[in-house]
Amino acid sequence: MTSEIAERLDKSGLHWTAGAPLKNYCHWQIGGPADYLVEPCSADEIAMARAIARETGLPSLVIGHGSNMLFDDQGYRGMIIKIGSRFSAARFDGENVYAEAGLWTPSLARACAARGLTGLEHAVGIPGNFGGLLFMNGGSMRQNIGDTVMFVDILDENGQMRRMAGDECDFSYRHSIFQGKNWIVLGAQLKLAQDDPEKIRRAMLSVLEERRSKFPLEYPNCGSVFSNDEQLYAQYGPPGMVIDKAGLKGTRVGAAEVSRRHANFIINCGGATSSDVFELIRIVRKEILERTGFVLKCEVRYASPDGRCDRLDLFL
């Protein structure tokens, strides 16, 4: 930690900590210390944190709830900007809702349901924040958040705030334009539709019930490790089924295990390391490549200690 950066952070009035254990900031509960972790409470504070990192030559990475992230046991030599409950307001206007990036996705979905707004039922069980959902174009039941986006507010690499129309965001399955840019998603407006609140509530309960019965939620995990591939799906099925058929359920490296309940999940059985997860992913991909000829791509993202962050398989 350099005193110049610490001094600037202190002077800025930002809420920050040194050496925060990243295992407390991700669902896998894996990861060493971050040199700096900042938790901003406004767009201006987010811009300020980014500016300090940029001007001091420090790598920086924005995270939401860490439900799609693997951190390294060595931690992160830079600044983690955590966008969470401090920046999580929602404003309703008829069938439109504007939400800030730190809002917990299930809370947003429930708030919409309470107002009789339909369109987010599919997202009620996705355990991340709204900014992460937009970045990943997350969703379930063949729906993605991008389907309802009117516009997204971002902070670009030069610290300028910009508004992007939904059709400029390049949304496709688990993809958005944000993945290839050094931008920060600040918030977005969604266009929903009016429907019977009771009907929406029942639909959400059924989504949650199905997820509870399928997913190994009793262990730390990061959701689906591998993303769907249309051709693999057509020939062999979804990744979970393919991994299951390959007999890989229960395969274990250290304390990381391919879930016996859902083969596209890797669970932390207690004290798993990032190397355990890497090795297990290597084993699964090799076996599936040999059996099917398909190379599995990861949905999960990895933050390397030196500051890079991308799809995990790009680091193998």
Ligand X SMILES: Cc1cc2nc3c(=O)[nH]c(=O)nc-3n(C[C@H](O)[C@H](O)[C@H](O)COP(=O)(O)OP(=O)(O)OC[C@H]3O[C@@H](n4cnc5c(N)ncnc54)[C@H](O)[C@@H]3O)c2cc1C
Point out which span in 6-14, 194-202, 214-222, 234-242 binds ligand X (CB under 6 A).
214-222
Q: Helices H, strands E: what count in the chain?
A: 8, 17
| Interacting residue with ligand X among 33, 59, 138, 239 (CB under 6 A) | 138
- DSSP annotation of 108: H
Q: How far is the CB of 287 from ligand X (least distance, A)?
A: 23
**53 touching ligand X, by CB under 6 A:** no
Looking at the Cβ atoms of 115 and 211, the one nearer to ligand X is 211
**101 touching ligand X, by CB under 6 A:** yes
Looking at the Cβ atoms of 249 and 311, the one nearer to ligand X is 311
**277 touching ligand X, by CB under 6 A:** no
Point out which span in 47-55, 138-146, 165-173, 241-249 binds ligand X (CB under 6 A).
138-146
Distances (CA, A) of 110 to 5, 125, 225, 238, 315: 40, 10, 26, 29, 37
Q: In what order do the strands lie in the sheet with 90-93?
A: 90-93, 96-100, 184-191, 149-155, 161-165
Looking at the Cβ atoms of 7 and 280, the one nearer to ligand X is 280
**62 touching ligand X, by CB under 6 A:** yes
Q: How far is the CB of 33 from ligand X (least distance, A)?
A: 17
Distance between CA 168 and CA 87 in Å, rounded?
24
Which phi-psi region, left, alpha or beta, contains residue 293 (left: φ > 0; alpha: ψ -120 to 50)?
Answer: left
**240 touching ligand X, by CB under 6 A:** no
User: What x-and-dash track marks residues 158-197 binding ligand X by CB under 6 A?
Assistant: --------------------x-----xx------------
Which phi-psi region, left, alpha or beta, contains residue 152 (left: φ > 0; alpha: ψ -120 to 50)?
Answer: beta
| Interacting residue with ligand X among 128, 146, 240, 305 (CB under 6 A) | 128
Q: How far is the CB of 62 from ligand X (least distance, A)?
A: 4
Point out which span in 15-23, 60-68, 188-196, 236-244 binds ligand X (CB under 6 A).
60-68
Catalytic residue numbers?
174, 224, 299
Q: Which residues pair with 175 in a beta bridge?
A: 172
Helices 197-214 and 105-114, axial angle in degrees (round to 10): 150
**65 touching ligand X, by CB under 6 A:** yes
Q: How far is the CB of 40 from ligand X (least distance, A)?
A: 10
Q: How far is the CB of 272 from ligand X (least distance, A)?
A: 14
| Interacting residue with ligand X among 22, 34, 48, 69 (CB under 6 A) | 69
Distance between CA 89 and CA 81 in Å, rounded?
18
Looking at the Cβ atoms of 262 and 285, the one nearer to ligand X is 262
Taking the CA atoms of 251, 252, 256 and 261 in sequence, report the sign of the dihedral they define. Answer: positive
Distance between CA 188 and CA 168 in Å, rounded?
13
Distance between CA 60 and CA 62 in Å, rounded?
7
**301 touching ligand X, by CB under 6 A:** yes
Q: Which of residues 19-38 bind ligand X (CB under 6 A)?
A: 27
Q: How many residues form the binding site for ligand X (CB under 6 A)?
A: 34
How close are the terminal C-alpha atoms of the chain, in Å?
29
- DSSP annotation of 218: T
Distance between CA 191 and CA 152 in Å, rounded?
12
Tokens coding 192:
């929903």
Residue numbers at the binding site for ligand X (CB under 6 A): 27, 61-69, 83, 101, 126-129, 131-133, 135-136, 138-140, 178, 184-185, 215, 217, 221-223, 301, 309
